[in-house]
Structure 1
Amino acid sequence: MPYPLRYFILLLTFTLFSIPVFSQSLREVVAKPGDGIYLLLKRHGLNPTSHIKAFQELNQKNLGAGNSLYAGRTYLLPETSATSGTKAAAAVANASPSVLKVPLFGPKYERVEIVNQQLKGAVFYLVAGHSGPDPGAIGKYGPYQLSEDEYAYDVTIRLARRLMERGATVYMIIQDPDDGIRDENVLKMDRDEVGYFGKPVPYVHKLRLRQRVQDINQLAQKHRGAYQRMLSVHIDSRSKGQNIDVFFYHHENSPAGKALAERIHQVFDTKYNRYQPNREYFGSVTPRSSLYVVKYSNPPTVFVELGNIKNDKDQRRFVIPNNRQALANWITDGIITDYKATK
C-alpha cells in the first residue's frame, strides 16, 4: 500500500527510498505562487509518492533552496506511461512505509522512522527565531560566542523530527540548507538560512517577521479544518547572573494557544520534579499579544523562550546536545497531550 501522502508535504523535499522511472516524453507546466513539488505533481495528476524524485532529477537546475519552486517558471513533469507507473509503484511498494528520508535533517538524522501515529492529522508550523542576517541574542561561552538563532534552530529542527516520528505534518518555516541537526556544543554561526519558499531572510526586522507569518498563513489555508499549531522558538538575553526557566507566551484571545502552552508547561514541571527534585521549576505561561508572530499568525501560536543565553547554568540547557534533544522531546510530549485533548 503506498505511503500516506500527508508526509510528503514537509519541506518540499523529502522522499521515500524509491527508484523513479521516466522517459523522453515529458510535459511542461508552470508553477503557481505557493506551489511546492507535492502540490504541483498532484494538480497535474501525478502521484507524488512515485514521481517526486524523478521530478527533482529532471528539474534540479531550476529549483530553489530546499528544492523549492519558483512561481512563473516552467518545469518538466516525469513520464506517466503505464509502464513507468507500474515500475514506480512497485518501487514504492518495496520501500518501508515507516521510513522517510528528510535531507534537511542532515546525513546523520535524515532517516526518520515513524514510531506511531499519535499525531496523525496534526499540522505544525515551526519557526526558529531570528536567522539570516539577524543572529538574535549573543552569549559568551569561554572563548566562544553563542548566537540565539543557531541554538533555537537546532532545538526546532529536532522538534520537527520528533513530531514527524509520531505521524505529524510539519513545516520548518526557517530552513538552513546545510546545517541539519548538529551534535556539537558550540554551533558555528552563519547567515544562510532562508524562508520556507526559498526566499532570503530580509534584513529589516519587521519584514523578516512579516515574511514568516505570510508563509505560515499561506500554508495554513491548505489545512483548514485540521488541528494546526505554530511554535516559535527563542532564547532570551538578560543579565549574566539571572537564571531563568523555559517559559511560554500566547495570544490573550487564543484559548487553543493558551491550552497548548499550559500543557507543554505542565510537562516541564513534571520533568523537573522527576529529574531535579530539589529544584523548583519557575517557568511561566503568559499572554503577550504584542509579539508580531503571536499577533498575526492564523494558527494558534506558542512562543517559547528556552533560557538566558548569557547565564552559565542556562547555557548548559542548550549547549549540551542531549539537553537540546530533551527540550524537543518535552515540547513534543506537551503537544501530544494537547492533541489528544482536542479529539
Structure 2
Amino acid sequence: MRYSNFTFSLCLFFSVFCVGQDSLKTVVAEPGDGILSLLRKQGVDPYDVFDEFVKLNNDSLRDSVHLIAGKTYVMPHVKLDTVAIVDSLQQQSTEIKELESVSYDIFGEKHKNVIKKSDRLEGNVYYLVSGHGGPDPGAMGVYAGKNIAEDEYAYDITLRLAKELMAHGAKVYIIIQDPDDGIRDDFILEIDHDEEAYLDKRIPLNQVARLKQRVEIVNDLYKSNKGKYQRLIVTHVDSRSVGQNIDVFFYHHEHSKNGKKLAESIHKTFQAKYKKYQPNRTYSGTFEDRTSLFLVKKTHPAMTFIEIGNIRNAKDQVRIVDPDNRQALAKWIGEGVLLDFEGE
C-alpha cells in the first residue's frame, strides 16, 4: 500500500476504553528503565499504550519522555475489545474514559495508532519536509562503528512530529515519504534510498532540482489550501567538525513576521525545557533569519527550518540516535507549534 496520496486529519475515530487513573496499577521505575522496557516488564505491548502512558505520566517524565529512577508511574490499562469486559468494569463503578484514535500505516505497524489529545489545531494545515532522501542521504556520521545518515533521522523525527500535530487535530502533509520505514525505535537506522516525494514523485539526484521539486509541491498545496492557517516545518541534521557540539537551532525568512514567530515559539519552548530538565546547562540554540536557504527563500507558507544537531559530534549523536530523544524533540517542537498558534 502506498501512502503518497494521503493527507492526514483526525476526521475518523474508533473508540477504545481504559480504566480511570485512580484505579490503575502503579510501578516504580528502576535504574536503567525506559518507557518501552518498563511496559514490557509489566507484560504490556509498549507500542499499544506508549502514548497513553506518556499522557498519564506527563508531569513525572524528564525531557517529556524519560523515566526517573525511583519515581512511581501509572500504568495504562490494556485495551478492551469486548462489551462483556467493559460492562464488568462499569459494574465495579470504575471511571471509564473514551479515547479517540485512528490508524495510519505510514507510521509503521507499532506506531500507526494516533490517539487524539485535543482539537487545538483543528483546521490548521502543516507541511513537514525532512531533509535529503532518495539518492541523497545528506550528512553522514559514524556511531558504534556504523554509518548513520541525516535523512533517516530527520525522517523519523518528522514522522513523530506529524503524529504530535495530528493528535491535536491538524491536517499534516508529509512531503518526503518512505514506503517501508515507519517510526523506528532503533539507535542505528538502516540507510536506504527508496524515499519519494509527495504523490509518488521520484526524488532527483541533482540538488537544485531536488529543492525545486519540494518548493513546487509545497507551493501547489499552499494554493489548494488557500484561506486556511498554514505553516511549513523543515527538519535537517547538520554536519560540522567532530569536536563541535551544537544545540537545536532555527531559521526563518527575514521578511516573514509569521515565520519568525513560529521559529521563536519553538525556540522559547526549547529554552523552557532545558531550564526545567537541565538547569545546570545553558541552552545556546538560536533562531535567526537565513533567507539564503533555498526552501526558506522560495516557499510560500510561513516556515521554520530546524537543524537538530551535528551528526558527527558524539554528544549530539546521543540526541539524534536515541529514539526517546527523538520523541522528545518531536514533542517539544509540537509544543512550540501550539504556542505559535495560540500565543502566550
TM over 0.5: yes
Corresponding position of 1:90: none
Corresponding position of 2:286: 284
Query: In 1, distance between residues paired with 2:6 and 2:153?
Result: 25
Q: Per the alignment, in what secondary structure is the counterpart of residue 337 of structure 1?
A: helix
- 1:154-197 Cα deviation digits (max 9, x unpaired): 00010001100010000000000010000000000000000011
Query: In 2, distance between residues paired with 1:99 and 1:274?
Result: 31
Corresponding position of 1:186: 188
Q: Structure 2: which amino acid aligns with 1:185?
A: F
Corresponding position of 2:247: 245
Q: Per the alignment, in what secondary structure is the counterpart of residue 322 of structure 1?
A: helix
Q: Per the alignment, in what secondary structure is the counterpart of residue 186 of structure 2?
A: coil
Query: In 2, distance between residues paired with 1:216 and 1:97?
Result: 33
Query: In 1, distance between residues paired with 2:343 and 2:8?
Result: 28
Q: Per the alignment, in what secondary structure is the counterpart of residue 152 of structure 2?
A: helix
Alignment of structure 1 residues 191-340 onto 2, 5 Å = 191-340=193-342
- 2:129 paired residue among 127, 130, 140: 127
Deviation at 1:98, TM superposition (A): 2.6
- Cα 1:9–1:341 change in 2 (3 A) is farther
Sequence identity, in percent?
Answer: 51
Corresponding position of 1:74: none
Q: Per the alignment, in what secondary structure is the counterpart of residue 98 of structure 1?
A: strand
Alignment of structure 1 residues 107-122 onto 2, 5 Å = 107-122=109-124
Q: Per the alignment, in what secondary structure is the counterpart of residue 283 of structure 1?
A: coil
Deviation at 1:227, TM superposition (A): 1.2
Q: Residues 9 and 169 of structure 1 are in contact (CA less than 8 Å); yes or no, is this contact kept in structure 2?
A: no
- Cα 1:194–1:9 change in 2 (3 A) is closer
> Aligned residues, how many?
257
**5+ unaligned residues in a row in structure 2: which ranges?**
15-97
Q: Residues 11 and 196 of structure 1 are in contact (CA less than 8 Å); yes or no, is this contact kept in structure 2?
A: no
Corresponding position of 2:7: 10
Q: Per the alignment, in what secondary structure is the counterpart of residue 267 of structure 1?
A: helix
Deviation at 1:341, TM superposition (A): 2.5
Q: Which moved more, 1:274-283 or 1:108-117?
A: 108-117
Q: Per the alignment, in what secondary structure is the counterpart of residue 316 of structure 2?
A: helix
Q: Which has the higher helix share?
A: 1
Q: Per the alignment, in what secondary structure is the counterpart of residue 241 of structure 1?
A: coil
Query: In 1, distance between residues paired with 2:199 and 2:215?
Result: 12
Query: In 2, distance between residues paired with 1:337 and 1:119?
Result: 11
Q: Per the alignment, in what secondary structure is the counterpart of residue 10 of structure 1?
A: coil
- 1:286-341 Cα deviation digits (max 9, x unpaired): 11101111111110110000000000000000100000000000000010011112
Query: In 2, distance between residues paired with 1:318 and 1:166?
Result: 25
Q: Per the alignment, in what secondary structure is the counterpart of residue 133 of structure 1?
A: coil
